[in-house]
Amino acid sequence: MVQFILNNQTVTATQAKGSTILDYIRYYMRLMGTKIGCREGDCGACTILVGSLEADKLVYRSMTSCLMPLGNAQGKHIVTVEGINMQNISPVQQSIIDTNGTQCGFCTPGFVVSLTGFILGNKSTTYEQAVAAIDGNICRCTGYKSIERSAKIIAGSIAQKPESGTTDWLVINGFLPAYFLNIENRLRELQITNTLSPLENDTGKTKTIVAGGTDIVVQRPQMVKHSNVELLFDTRILRGIKEEEGQCIVGGGVTVTEFFESPLIQRIFPALAKHIKLVSSTPIRNMATMAGNIVNASPIGDMTVFFLALDASVVLARDSQQRTVKLKNFYKGYKQTDKEAEEIIIEILFDIPSEQTLFNFEKVSKRTNLDIASVNSACQLQMAFDTIETIHLSAGGVAPFPKYLSNTCAYLQGKKLETQTLEEALKIVNAEIAPISDARGSKEYKQLLLRQLVIAHFLQFFGPTEAIKKFLFQ
């Protein structure tokens, strides 16, 4: 059984934990405001807000209900568009009306929910943040300019919102219904009285590990629905990011959002804000976990490419046994990893780079937002004067799995950064990749892209120096 608060109602769901919360909301609770567009996390028509107690504080995040397993709602507050305007149209909805931000209306509930998620964020009040909050919502008929105008009105109307006591202020000013004021206490009671109990008919079924569901529910929704799911999303020991003896330890269940929001990670990677925009969309980042990215073994996994350039390791656990594997040795072939079915990734470890270490991530995709990469790459570099002391280079989209460019790294180590060295390194890059032509580009295009991304790393680190100039404008 799964117990949670749906808008203002405490509910107990007996449906399969691996079925989607979208189907529960629409077909069991008959709340039809949450729409079904793609069922693949792409369109945002099914966006809901998920409120949960994080470090004893109620935090709301937008998520795509078409990919969220019902079991991941345990002990949480699920908000649909019906829960936002219980008596009156909310100011968010009114602003969309005022700017003609809707035509057929199919996408509108998703936009309303995402923008309400924006106003609920403690620190977010700017127009840019309002627009960023709808990066996972697609509209096919209105045109985005009027929706952006609505975002501007909303950002302006919450300019006076305090950093603490946000919910009180939002209720007083009519953005949220009053029942939101009691949710934190109601969730605490739920957490105490209820833990997720297995359904009787789950035993004997195939066991499937699911975290955020943003990969496995897209690929195999029926299999997830009908299997005995091991839900890792809320497993405490898989969460958290810490520093220990010069190493950064990232829990396997840490989401992309949590990773990018972590003060420790922001300290280690000051340019992180630029990178985050390149990874999926706000609702997907709120669900997608680090371990899910690594285990799904997609050749273009962004976080995997990021960790490969950090020369990271993964810690795999089964019962009381643990083993640590270098990420660069984890992949054995297309979608094949060095992981037994029952093993789970509990941690990802990497040495914290020194302040002098340079790090960069690049990604090229067909669309800027909400798209997977054609080719991506990351680079970690330490220089000793003009000589490359250590380099770790990774690339996605150019091999059957995310690739650590070991031959190129071995060649560059100890070399001076000169045009000839880079020319030779690019030849080695080309020799150790094997891209294929597909919907994201031809083999030749991907070869060229990676070449440019490798140059982009050096350009980012050193600017257009003599050694690099030759590769520009070719």
Ligand X SMILES: Cc1cc2nc3c(=O)[nH]c(=O)nc-3n(C[C@H](O)[C@H](O)[C@H](O)COP(=O)(O)OP(=O)(O)OC[C@H]3O[C@@H](n4cnc5c(N)ncnc54)[C@H](O)[C@@H]3O)c2cc1C
Judged by the rule CB under 6 A, the positions of this chain that interact with ligand FES are 36-39, 41-46, 64, 66, 102-108, 139-142
Strands in 403-404's sheet, in edge-to-edge order, are: 358-364, 375-384, 387-396, 403-404
Q: How far is the CB of 61 from ligand X (least distance, A)?
A: 14
We find the least distance from the C-beta atom of residue 289 to ligand FES, in angstroms, to be 18
Q: Which is nearer to ligand FES, 46 or 248 (CB)?
A: 46
Output the furthest CA–CA distance in the chain (Å, rounded). Answer: 70
Q: Which amino acid is at 378?
A: A
In the three-class reduction of DSSP (H, G, I as helix; E, B as strand; rest coil), residue 384 is classed as: strand
177 binding partner (options ligand X, ligand FES, none; Cβ < 5 to 8 Å by kind):
none
Q: How far is the CB of 302 from ligand X (least distance, A)?
A: 4
Contacted entry of ligand X, ligand FES, none for residue 72, CB cut-off 5 to 8 Å set by kind: none
Pick the piece of the chain touching ligand X (CB under 6 A) from 6-14, 48-56, 290-298, 386-394: 290-298
Q: Which residue is nearest to ligand X (CB)?
A: 292
What's the start-to-end Cα distance of the chain, in Å? 61
Q: Which does 37 bind (CB under 5 to 8 A by kind): ligand FES, ligand X, none?
A: ligand FES
Cβ nearer to ligand FES, comparing 137 with 337: 137
Q: Are 363 and 333 in contact (CB under 8 A)?
A: no
CB of 235 to ligand X, least distance (A): 8
Window 327 to 346, contacts with ligand X (CB under 6 A): 344-345
For the purposes of burial, counting CB atoms within 10 Å of the CB of 162, is it exposed (0-12), middle (13-18) or buried (19 or more)? exposed
Give the interface size with ligand X as a residue count (CB under 6 A): 32
Residue 218 interacts with ligand X (CB under 6 A)? yes
Spatial contact of 167 and 187, defined as CB atoms under 8 Å apart: no
Binding region for ligand X (CB under 6 A) out of 162-170, 213-221, 325-333, 407-415: 213-221
User: E-assigned strands of 65-140?
Assistant: 77-79
- Return phi, psi of residue 246, to 5°: 80, 0
Q: Which does 142 bind (CB under 5 to 8 A by kind): ligand FES, ligand X, none?
A: ligand FES
Selection from ligand X, ligand FES, none that 39 binds (CB < 5 to 8 A by kind) is: ligand FES
Out of 3, 33, 42, 262, the residue judged to bind ligand X by CB under 6 A: 42
397 binds ligand X (CB under 6 A): no
Q: How far is the CB of 36 from ligand FES (least distance, A)?
A: 5
3 is in the binding site of which of ligand FES, ligand X, none (Cβ under 5 to 8 A by kind)?
none
Of 214, 286, 337, 408, the one binding ligand X (CB under 6 A) is 214
Tokens of 164: 């603490």
In terms of CB distance, is 43 or 393 closer to ligand FES? 43
Of the pair 42, 135, the CB lying nearest ligand FES is at 42
Nearer to ligand FES, 20 or 365 (CB): 20
The answer to whether the beta carbons of residues 124 and 31 sit under 8 Å apart is no
Specify burial of residue 230 (Cβ count, 10 A radius: 0-12, 13-18, 19+): middle
Strand-pairing partners, residue 208, are: 229
Six token digits for residue 191 = 């957490």
Instruction: Tell me which H or E stretch contains 118.
Output: helix 108-120
Q: Please, what is the minimum distance in Å from the beta carbon of residue 46 to ligand FES?
A: 3
Phi-psi region of 55 (alpha: psi -120 to 50; beta: other; left: phi over 0): left
Residue 374 lies near ligand X (rule: CB under 6 A): no
The Cα–Cα gap between 72 and 2 comes to 9
Cβ contact 137:112 at 8 Å: no
Strands (E), 21-104: 47-54, 57-64, 77-79
Look up residue 133 and give its two tokens.
């909050």
Nearer to ligand X (CB atom), residue 259 or residue 471: 259
209 is a contact residue toward ligand X (CB under 6 A):
yes
Binding ligand X (rule: CB under 6 A), the pick from 117, 213, 221, 402 is: 213
Cβ 466 vs Cβ 419: under 8 Å: yes
Tell me the residue length of the chain.
474
Q: Should residue 41 be labelled a site residue for ligand X when binding is judged by CB under 6 A?
A: yes
Taking a C-beta distance cutoff of 8 angstroms, is the pair 216, 296 a contact? Answer: yes
Contact residues: ligand X, CB under 6 A:
40-42, 209-216, 218, 232, 238, 252, 279-280, 284, 287-289, 291-293, 295-296, 301-303, 344-345, 372
